[in-house]
Structure 1
Amino acid sequence: MQVLELLILPPASGLIAIVLGLLFWGRRLGKGLVFAGIAWLYVAATPLFAGWLLAGLERGYPVAPPLPEAAGAIVVLAGGRHPDAPEYGGETVSPHSLERLRYGARLHRDTGLPLLVSGGRVRGDEPAAEADLLADVLEGELGVAVRWRETESRNTCENALFSAHLLAEAGIEHALLVSHALHMPRAVWCFQRTELAVTPFPTLPMGDLSRHRGITVVLPQPRALWLTGQALHEYLGLVWYRVKWEVRIGK
């Protein structure tokens, strides 16, 4: 699945189209493929297109929503690891995970609600679960206690299933859910298929184009290409989860 996704997303998909077009250059199809590949790479690298994709994911999840009275915990979803960080003793959290746990720590201080961190070993051979890496930063560097560590999940739907089970054992039926804004549609979709009600508390929305002025919104930029890839990853994930997980955990 990961290799297929890499082939679908830019820049690989655009480059593949260009290479195929050059191989069949003598035919009308070849020239069309080259043009389509170049056009796709250009569009995918513009802030205008990246912002449009991101807005479709983030629009329904406002930052800092009203705090629900029924909430009994804060769930922070892991966002990856940095496997080679000798200055931290080996592994540490990725920038995505750090951004999420920082917001989780702030919500904990603001609300007093206990924290659950969720994330296991995606490949299966990593030394530590992602939840343990998150907890180490929260407790060791930010001075925030972690009540629960969900260490078995390998993807977002397992985050939801296993976190809901842990909180159900504690008698908690509603939690604040912390993840990146662009990841929130997939996360909420998964939690809606458990018995745990969640209120999304997204962090760091990236679809705002206000910092781009005039012509810069249509000028290709490396970060815009990366954001397009991130957004398309989420859209593909939503489709894949509806195919794979609806059968397994559908209501």
Structure 2
Amino acid sequence: MLDLIAADLKPILTALALPPTSPILFGASALLLRRRWPRRSLAMLWLSLALMWLSACGVTALWLQDRVLQPPPALGADARERLQASARSADDIAIVVLGGGRHASLAALDGAGGLTEHALERLRHGVWLHRQTGWPLAYSGGVGWAQRDGPSEAAIASRIAREDFALPLRWTEDRSRDTRQNAAATVALLRAAGVRQIVLVTHASHMPRALRAFREAASDLPVTPAPVGPVVAEERAVLDLLPSATAARHVHLLLREWLGLWVGA
């Protein structure tokens, strides 16, 4: 019972700890304290404004990615060739695409549902890797902690892969709710199928945490990262110093991944 309550609270507590909610709450507390401690509250208010600005800037996202999380580089052609040379057959290696969210509103509308932009980008990269290498493709994703009922993300991805990319998935793992469950369930599935190596596809921001979970779950199987969607600098550097919706989203995701690494999620 306590585990279920903690699971339900997980997305709420995460949202409270991250921007934009945390700087807003900090600024609101400054306003509440302005009569008792006017100078301190003014300093707190200015600090909250600075935090809100920084949490929406590309330079912050780049620093978090390159200095804090330090994800591995993309899986290039040379690395793919080395993997192919080390395998006895194409079926020795499996491409594992990790879920990135589903659109519950679409599921309610048509009964089928859709993937978020993040999840679709991962699936597209997995399909591209399959067509470059011939390695079979797996998708891992159930119904996340922040979601309720409806089709699993893996079921939606399987339909999209078949209908939009003309590529049936070899394996789908549809019961996991977070990254650690992704790893445990998918590794068990692939190990039973005789897979000897895993190529892991997820976003660069998520890769350090996902790689840790998979390497812990697959101590006997090599896991090679194939990250997608890293944060890149603007062509005009000054734009990375100005707030934008895109940068705010990047900062939020990067901080969430750092928090997940820190708490061992």
- Residue 93 and residue 214 in structure 1: after superposition, are their counterparts in 2 closer, same or farther (change >3 A)? closer
Distance 1:95 1:88 in 2: 18
Tell me the residue number matched to 2:201.
178
Q: Which runs of 5+ in 1 are unaligned?
A: 245-251
Residue 56 of structure 2 corresponds to residue 45 of structure 1 = yes
Higher strand share: 1
Deviations 1:125-178 (A, max 9, x none): 422111111111111211112111111111011111111001110111211111
AA aligned to 2:224 is: T
User: Deviation above 6 Å: which 4+ runs of structure 1?
Assistant: none
Distance 2:69 2:25 in 1: 30
TM-score (norm 1): 0.89
- Residue 146 and residue 213 in structure 1: after superposition, are their counterparts in 2 closer, same or farther (change >3 A)? same
Q: Report the secondary structure of 2:105's partner residue.
A: strand
Distance 1:88 1:55 in 2: 40
- Deviation of the 1:87 alpha carbon: 7.2
Residue 42 of structure 2 corresponds to residue 12 of structure 1 = no
Identity fraction in percent: 34
Tell me the residue number matched to 2:238.
215
Distance 1:146 1:185 in 2: 25
Residue 127 of structure 2 corresponds to residue 105 of structure 1 = yes
Contact 1:58 1:205 in 2 (8 A): no
Deviations 1:49-93 (A, max 9, x none): 121112246644111230213451111111100112277544111
Distance 1:75 1:231 in 2: 22
Q: Which runs of 5+ in 2 are unaligned?
A: 1-9
AA aligned to 1:111 is: T
Residue 103 of structure 2 corresponds to residue 94 of structure 1 = no
Q: Report the secondary structure of 1:229's partner residue.
A: helix
- Deviation of the 1:35 alpha carbon: 1.5
Distance 1:89 1:147 in 2: 23
Contact 1:182 1:231 in 2 (8 A): yes
- Deviation of the 1:193 alpha carbon: 0.5
- Deviation of the 1:121 alpha carbon: 1.7
Distance 2:99 2:237 in 1: 36
AA aligned to 2:104 is: P
Please tell me the root mean square deviation across aligned C-alpha atoms, in Å: 1.9
Distance 1:125 1:214 in 2: 41
Aligned counterpart in structure 2 of residue 83 of structure 1, from 99, 104, 124: 104
Deviations 1:169-192 (A, max 9, x none): 011121111111111001101001
Aligned counterpart in structure 2 of residue 32 of structure 1, from 35, 43, 58: 43
Distance 1:18 1:121 in 2: 34
Distance 1:56 1:136 in 2: 38
Distance 2:71 2:206 in 1: 12
- Deviation of the 1:32 alpha carbon: 2.1
Distance 2:16 2:70 in 1: 28
Tell me the residue number matched to 2:225.
200
- Residue 95 and residue 184 in structure 1: after superposition, are their counterparts in 2 closer, same or farther (change >3 A)? same
Tell me the residue number matched to 2:255.
232
AA aligned to 2:29 is: L
Residue 170 of structure 2 corresponds to residue 147 of structure 1 = yes
Count of equivalent residues: 240
